[in-house]
């Protein structure tokens, strides 16, 4: 069932406020991920080509590790073996705990101006990643699933900005976003067999751009709305339930973090803001935290079942 997210209709949503949680101002922070095994947080700065690791220290996030790449970085997820799987602009790269980098599959971009964007792992440890157009093309981008042997399954091929991905608490529903179209899609999903159902509209945002998302234990979606200075939460049936106010206009993604996964971490950006807007919003690009009276579902690590060749080898 599709609901139009209209804060002016229905019961009033609960309002929460996010607070600054980091010192660094990123150009385009994205892809937060709580790594339960190490009590750490992964996130990226897409434009700077950097992957960050940090730890919660009260209501602050303290950086503890940084990886640099020579291209944009779409997203990074932990590997089950302690590595980090990174989607660079056009290829997957595995970084071991000791820093060795091994190349994985390239992502087919058909020679056009595109790059990898947001990604996530299903409960079987398969990595899903989408692409984004870097020019004015519409409808030619894809969402892929990387199978156990490193081959790619195309899930969608008609997107413009493939973005936030998530699963219902039982793993049987898969949510995916096309930011440019303003749609969060939903479809049936079976991680054990790999079967994927036909997509259908779950949420449509008129004149707005949904970005990254996550899911809580009730099955509520938490969606960062780029350009709105808000994160919004929706019930499984699509009703607006809560709004998190963020003191900068470009929230980009969300994740529940902490040992109880009960704190919402919000990444933001300062890219595309004018000089006067950056003065108006001095915290744009920082990380934020919000206590939203909810807990997130577990996020899954990449299975690490295929191994790329060391960088430079054929």
Separation between Cα atoms, residue 119 and residue 135, nearest integer Å: 21
Separation between Cα atoms, residue 61 and residue 288, nearest integer Å: 9
Q: Quick one: tokens of 26?
A: 């990123």
Which segments of 135-246 are extended strands (E)? Answer: 141-146, 152-159, 162-167, 173-178, 183-190, 195-196, 200-204, 209-215, 221-226, 230-234, 240-245
Tell me which residue has tokens 């809560």. 242
Active-site residue, 211 included? yes
Separation between Cα atoms, residue 141 and residue 131, nearest integer Å: 6
- Residue 226 pairs with which residues in a beta bridge? 209
Separation between Cα atoms, residue 123 and residue 303, nearest integer Å: 9
Q: Which of the residues 211, 259, 260, 262 is marked catalytic?
A: 211
Q: Which helix (H) or strand (E) holds 276?
A: helix 275-280
Three-state DSSP state, 278:
helix
276 by Cβ neighbours in 10 Å (0-12 / 13-18 / 19+) ranks as: exposed
Q: Which residues contact 21 (CB under 8 A, 6 or more apart)?
A: 59, 60, 61, 265, 286, 287, 288, 289
Contact, 182 vs 205, CB < 8 A? yes
Separation between Cα atoms, residue 211 and residue 131, nearest integer Å: 13
* Catalytic residue set: 211
């Amino acid at each position: 069932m599709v609901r139009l997210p209209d804060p002016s209709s229905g019961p009033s949503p609960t309002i929460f406020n996010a607070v600054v949680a980091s010192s660094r101002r990123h150009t385009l922070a994205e892809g937060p991920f709580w790594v339960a095994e190490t009590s750490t947080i992964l996130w990226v700065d897409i434009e700077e080509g950097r992957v960050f690791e940090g730890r919660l220290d009260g209501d602050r996030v303290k950086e503890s590790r940084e990886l640099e790449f020579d291209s944009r970085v779409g997203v990074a997820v932990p590997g089950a073996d302690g590595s980090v799987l990174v989607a660079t602009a056009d290829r997957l790269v595995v970084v071991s705990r000791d820093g060795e980098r091994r190349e994985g599959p390239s992502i087919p971009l058909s020679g056009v101006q595109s790059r990898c964007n947001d990604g996530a792992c299903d409960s079987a440890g398969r990595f899903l990643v989408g692409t984004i157009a870097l020019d004015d093309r519409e409808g030619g981008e894809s969402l892929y699933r990387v199978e156990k042997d490193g081959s790619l399954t195309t899930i969608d091929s008609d997107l413009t900005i493939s973005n936030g991905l998530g699963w219902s608490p039982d793993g049987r529903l898969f949510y995916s976003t096309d930011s440019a179209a303003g749609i969060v899609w939903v479809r049936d999903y079976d991680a054990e067999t790999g079967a994927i159902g036909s997509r259908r509209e779950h949420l449509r945002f008129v004149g707005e751009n949904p970005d990254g998302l996550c899911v809580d234990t009730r099955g509520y979606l938490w969606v960062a709305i780029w350009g709105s200075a808000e994160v919004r939460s929706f019930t499984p049936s699509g009703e607006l339930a809560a709004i998190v106010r963020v003191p900068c206009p470009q929230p980009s993604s969300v994740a529940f973090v902490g040992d109880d996964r009960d704190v919402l971490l919000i990444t933001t950006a300062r890219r595309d803001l004018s000089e006067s807007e950056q003065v108006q919003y001095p915290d744009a690009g920082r990380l934020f935290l919000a206590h939203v009276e909810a807990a997130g579902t577990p996020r899954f690590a990449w299975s690490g079942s295929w191994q790329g060749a060391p960088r430079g080898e054929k």
